[in-house]
Structure 1
Amino acid sequence: MIKDKNNQKIAPYRIWGENLDVEAVRQMDEACCLPVSIKGALMPDAHKGYGLPIGGVLAVDKAVIPYAVGVD
């Protein structure tokens, strides 16, 4: 299990690219701290979104997060 600096569980995610937008990475970190988060990914074109970064993929357990779907 991966934990962040506050000892909070964070779901693992893969970054598919280099030099990504720092805000996109921060948003993905926050999304992966949600209790329903299982796994994630950031695509090479990822950039800051409204909740989940644009170009971010988040797998969750028994949940749908409407704000993380189709907001660009």
Structure 2
Amino acid sequence: MKKPIYNYNLEQCNKLFKKGVHPIGIGRNDKTENIFVVFRAESKYFDMLSAVLYEELQGYTSPNC
């Protein structure tokens, strides 16, 4: 089984959802009470995360956002 990735950036998570990356769970940090989304550490997650980060650097926003 692949390791879990905990992403606390909900805006980034929404962009990943729109790119077809599916979460395996959600949770709340016991100390900070911040919400996080759990993804499986697989190539699709990392490829789409790179695409999202690139789009953010370029100032691109998807028409679906």
Q: Same fold (TM over 0.5)?
A: no
Greater C-alpha radius of gyration? 2
Which structure has more relative contact order (CA 8 Å, sep 6+)? It is 2
TM-score (norm 1): 0.27
Instruction: Name the one with the larger helix percent.
Output: 2
TM-score (norm 2): 0.29
